[in-house]
């Protein structure tokens, strides 16, 4: 009787372990991040559908956009495209090709992070989907070619055949439609004709961007700024630094020079539109994350922070 009881107990323990290490159909036992910190966001895999056949319209036809509406904008070889956040809130990923270059436009509504990636890696063109899993409240992408899981903010594969590899960012702007249109009047705009029935005039997240509340626990927290304070975050040689727009506003102007990680950086910023770029001494745009303070800090609690000194 005791032997049978022990066998049943062992079976339950093994079953529980397997269940804990498999979420939304992804086997996580070899994950680079703790499995207990990978959370199910609610929807199943692809429950938030990516846009895989995007349609675009001329700017003059984008009457569903107001000047203040936020977009992610990219410009490749002279062609500009705008991806409205009001669409990305419902889909999070657009798999696209611009000027022959495959790209993946990603947005995490919970972290406010919009990042565009080159979708060609290791001889493969990857198509990304929404896994339904989160790490530090940030979306975990997965590619349909290898079913590798990728952390958006880390730009890194955390589990699967491509584990440890990094995605290369495409320079983008997360800014207002009004500013983007002024800069690129010939821009094309992602159409609301997505193939899905969604109310793109409403946000599924309500007033989340202004609230101090977050939906999911994170591994590190800081009360130094409002959790949704927008920052420009940069990583150089394993060192991290955040440039909060609250500090940039106090600094004044639209540019500043900073020394970080042994480099001279030029920070170009637009406080009203919460947009900016960071360049090295040669004028090259560096990879950065434009997102909420709480998210940047959760991933990089050792981050340096720019202070205006005001």
pLDDT in tens, the chain (310 residues): 343 334 333 433 333 333 468 999 999 999 999 999 999 999 999 999 999 999 999 999 999 999 999 999 999 999 999 999 999 999 999 999 999 999 999 999 999 999 999 999 988 899 999 999 999 999 999 999 999 999 999 999 999 999 999 999 999 999 999 999 999 999 999 999 999 999 999 999 999 999 999 999 999 999 999 999 999 999 999 999 999 999 999 999 999 999 999 999 999 999 999 999 999 999 999 999 999 999 999 999 999 999 997 5
Question: Is there a contact between 242 and 231 (Cβ–Cβ < 8 Å)?
Answer: yes
Max intra-chain CA distance, the chain: 78
The 8-class DSSP code of residue 285 comes to B
Which residues, at least 6 apart from 128, have a Cβ–Cβ distance to it below 8 Å? 50, 93, 95, 104, 106, 119, 141, 142, 143, 144, 150
pLDDT confidence of residue 310: 54
Q: Give the chain's domains with CATH numbers.
A: 36-190 (2.102.10), 230-305 (no CATH)
Provide the pLDDT for residue 3: 39
Three-state DSSP at 19 gives: helix
Rounded CA gap, 19 and 65, in Å? 44
Burial, 242: exposed, middle or buried (Cβ in 10 Å; 0-12, 13-18, 19+)? Answer: buried
Please give the DSSP secondary-structure letter assigned to residue 88.
H
What pairing do the DSSP bridges indicate for beta strands 188-190 and 56-58?
antiparallel
DSSP 162-196: TTT-BPPEEP-EEEEHHHHHHH-TT-EEE-S-SSS
The per-residue pLDDT for 5 is: 37
Say how far apart CA 295 and CA 216 lie, in whole Å.
11
CA distance 106 to 108: 7
Q: Do residues 247 and 258 touch, judged by C-beta distance below 8 A? A: no
Residue 253 near residue 271, CB atoms below 8 Å = no
HEC string of 240-280?
Answer: EEEEEHHHHHHHCCCEEEEEECCEEEEEEEECCCCEEEEEC
pTM of the model: 0.91
Which tens digits make up the pLDDT trace of 181-207? 999 999 999 999 999 999 999 999 999
CA distance 71 to 183: 13
Return d(Cα 183, Cα 185) in angstroms, integer: 6
pLDDT of 20: 60
Angle at 172 between CA 168 and CA 173, to 5 degrees: 150
């Amino acid at each position: 009787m005791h032997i049978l009881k022990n066998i049943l107990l062992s079976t339950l323990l093994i079953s529980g372990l397997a269940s804990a290490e498999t979420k939304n159909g992804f086997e996580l036992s070899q994950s680079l991040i703790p499995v207990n910190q990978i959370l199910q966001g609610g929807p199943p895999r692809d429950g938030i559908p990516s846009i895989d056949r995007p349609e675009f319209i001329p700017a003059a036809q984008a009457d569903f956009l107001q000047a203040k509406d936020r977009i992610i904008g990219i410009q490749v070889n002279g062609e500009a495209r705008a991806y409205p956040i009001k669409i990305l809130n419902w889909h999070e990923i657009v798999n696209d090709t611009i000027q022959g270059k495959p790209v993946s436009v990603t947005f995490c509504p919970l972290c406010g992070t919009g990042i565009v990636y080159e979708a060609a890696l290791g001889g493969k063109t990857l198509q990304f989907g929404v896994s339904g899993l989160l790490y530090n409240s940030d979306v975990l992408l997965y590619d349909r070619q290898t079913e590798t899981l990728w952390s958006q903010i880390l730009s890194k594969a955390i589990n699967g055949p491509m584990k440890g590899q990094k995605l290369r960012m495409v320079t983008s702007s997360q800014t207002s439609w009004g500013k983007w249109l002024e800069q690129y009047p010939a821009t094309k705009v992602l159409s609301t004709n997505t193939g899905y029935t969604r109310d793109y005039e409403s946000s599924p997240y309500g007033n989340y961007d202004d609230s101090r509340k977050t939906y999911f626990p994170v591994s590190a927290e800081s009360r130094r700024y409002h959790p949704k304070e927008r920052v420009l975050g940069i990583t150089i040689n394993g060192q991290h630094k955040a440039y909060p727009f609250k500090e940039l506003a106090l600094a004044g102007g639209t540019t500043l020079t900073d020394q970080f990680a042994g480099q001279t950086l030029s920070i170009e910023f637009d406080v009203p539109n919460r947009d900016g770029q960071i360049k090295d001494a040669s004028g090259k745009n560096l990879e950065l994350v434009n997102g909420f303070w709480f998210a940047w800090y959760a991933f990089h609690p050792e981050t340096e922070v720019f202070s205006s000194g005001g």
